Amino acid sequence: MWANPAAERLTGYTLAEAQTLPGRAIHATPESYAAFAQLVVDPLDRGERATTEIQLRRKNGELRWVEITGQCINPANPRGDGILWIMQDITERKEAELALQQTVQELKRLTAEQKIILDNAATAIFMQKGYQVVWANPATQTLLGYTADEMRDLPTVTYHPSPEAYEATYPLVAPLMDRGELVSAEIQVRHKEGFLRWVTLTGQAINPARVREDGILWIMQDISERKQAESVLQAYAEQLAIARDQALEASKYKSLLLGKVSHELRTPLGGILGYAELLRDEIAGPLAPDQREFVAYMIEATKHLNSLITDLLDQAQIEQGTVKIAPRPVHLPNTTFFLRDLLQPLAAKKGLDFVLETDPELPHNIIADEKRLRQIVINLASNAIKFTETGMVKVALQRLGSAQWQIEINDTGPGIEPEAQKRIFDSFWQVDGSPSSLHKGYGLGLSIVQQLVVLMGGTIEVSSELGRGSKFVVVLPLVMSHEA
């Protein structure tokens, strides 16, 4: 959410305060908020601009009339990419309209005192009979550039940008001319010097039963600045849409490149790993101790690169939306045996205790994507082992009621800074990304884990205390399988 200083002044709320408020907080009543939502939701869902008038309740309780216009940033995805709003304080205009309606009732008995009031009104007011302006106050003369005498001698088409624009107003004024109804429209008018201004034009019949004979009283409000702001708003929305499309296109090509490069690298790496393992097994002859050390390093580096390629492929597929979760019956005890057999030796190699606990209340048979489930646990647990130098790593599977279960990974490692916890699931980001880091990586593992958890309908959270260790908690939907 973003608001400019003018919006803060108009509502009385700071941006920080506004971000915590529901939309209805600035409306006069719950009923007026409901009416506003009903008016704007359909046009905005169609990607159209929506404009209406509401009473705004300021922070101090004061009520102000505003004209509010909404424009979707991306008409193709109105709810997803957000809406830009512009508010114009029209309290003075609304008060003028009310004064206009009150004035109409007494206009036929217009006194010298009432005429003085109209002549000194800051809002443009004029009276029309037929196709002529028969009276105009000084504000009207200022707005259009003509004197009252000049206006009496000119047809009303003179004040429109063109004869075609004049004819386009016929449908707008028809309810007024035919039934004496109050009408209001936004039109352009031409100043005597030739430039155009945007105005809100509101008309009221002096006598609804005799509109053509007794005439119409009009009020004009200059809205040129608002229209200019709307134009800027529209241009900004279009620029944002273009930038978004360009970013999406760049992301698509990045994902395609990652996938292509990863596939091309995997084949030669497989050959390198195979030959290195043949050397290690001394198929080609005995190795000296230093040669055995070199071969071991080669195998470790190749496996590391292969792991990176797997992560890159997963990341590319996730970004392209091609990763599909394939739920099927899973026998959890088999899965936990597999995880223990894989992870315990890794922990033992570093002198760490490894514990894997399963809640007895957790069903043995569930529905899940076992491949992705293993990937999540292996990634989180191996990460914990990698960063923990002494102590233990614990994996606990626990039931949470009837609809959820969780995987909790605890370690006694160095912990994670609070600021780092906010970014720990970002792609290509590491707690320590320096070249000299003791724990080399590329910052993809936790990002992939988070995205897989979301695809499986779950959540993941991290908590940590420096010097005490870290805890990752994955919560997933619990769907039981009836297969034995």
pLDDT digits (tens, 9 = 90+) for 200-240: 899 888 888 888 888 888 899 899 988 888 888 888 888 88
Q: Would you say residue 432 has pLDDT above 80?
A: no
Give the pLDDT band (50/70/90) at residue 262. low
Give the pLDDT band (50/70/90) at residue 161. very high
Q: Would you say residue 110 has pLDDT above 60?
A: no
Q: In this prediction, what percent of the chain has a pLDDT beyond 90?
A: 27
Model confidence over 170-207: pLDDT tens digits? Answer: 888 888 888 888 888 899 999 999 999 999 899 888 88
What pLDDT was estimated at residue 116?
60
- Which pairs with CB-CB distance under 8 Å and at least 24 residues apart come from 129-138? 129/214, 129/215, 129/216, 130/212, 131/155, 131/156, 131/157, 132/156, 134/215
Residues 6+ apart with CB under 8 A from 276: 295, 298, 299, 302
When mean pLDDT is compared over 72-76, 123-127, 384-388, the highest value belongs to: 384-388
Mean of pLDDT values over 122-146: 87
Q: Would you say residue 261 has pLDDT above 70?
A: no
CB of 406 closer than 8 Å to CB of 475:
yes
Q: Would you say residue 111 has pLDDT above 60?
A: no
The H or E element spanning position 103 is helix 91-106
Mean of pLDDT values over 94-108: 76
What pLDDT was estimated at residue 428?
62
Provide the CB-side half-sphere exposure for 71 (13 A, CA). 17
How many other C-beta atoms can be found within 10 angstroms of the C-beta atom of residue 264?
Answer: 10
Q: How far apart are CA 316 and CA 259, in angstroms?
A: 6
What pLDDT was estimated at residue 109?
62
Minimum mean pLDDT range among 188-192, 307-311, 407-411, 434-438: 434-438
What pLDDT was estimated at residue 435?
38
- Helix then strand then coil, % of the chain, to nearest 5: 50, 25, 25
Q: How far apart are CA 408 and CA 393, in angstroms?
A: 11
- Domains, the chain: 5-89 (3.30.450.20), 94-222 (3.30.450.20), 229-320 (1.10.287), 328-477 (3.30.565.10)
Average pLDDT, the chain: 84
Mean of pLDDT values over 82-109: 80
Minimum mean pLDDT range among 94-103, 129-138, 340-349: 94-103
Q: Would you say residue 47 has pLDDT above 80?
A: no
How many other C-beta atoms can be found within 10 angstroms of the C-beta atom of residue 183?
Answer: 19
3-state secondary structure of 291: helix
Q: Would you say residue 357 has pLDDT above 90?
A: yes
Q: How far apart are CA 91 and CA 93, in angstroms?
A: 5
What pLDDT was estimated at residue 366?
94
Q: Would you say residue 18 has pLDDT above 60?
A: yes
What values do phi and psi take at 298, rounded to 5? -60, -45
Minimum mean pLDDT range among 74-78, 140-144, 181-185, 321-325: 74-78
Minimum mean pLDDT range among 17-26, 135-144, 400-409: 17-26
Give the pLDDT band (50/70/90) at residue 433. very low
CA dist 381 → 373, 377, 471 (Å): 12, 6, 10
Strands 392-400 and 353-358: parallel
What pLDDT was estimated at residue 466?
92
Q: Does residue 465 come out as left (phi exceeding 0), alpha (psi in the -120 to 50 range) or beta?
A: beta
Residue 366 exposed, middle or buried by CB count within 10 Å (0-12, 13-18, 19+): buried
Mean of pLDDT values over 316-320: 70
How many other C-beta atoms can be found within 10 angstroms of the C-beta atom of residue 444?
Answer: 20
Higher pLDDT, 432 or 448: 448
List the one residue out of 159, 139, 145 whose CA is nearest residue 96.
Answer: 139
Q: How far apart are CA 242 and CA 223, in angstroms?
A: 29
Q: Where are the beta strands (DSSP E) in 170-305?
A: 183-190, 196-205, 216-222
What pLDDT was estimated at residue 438?
38
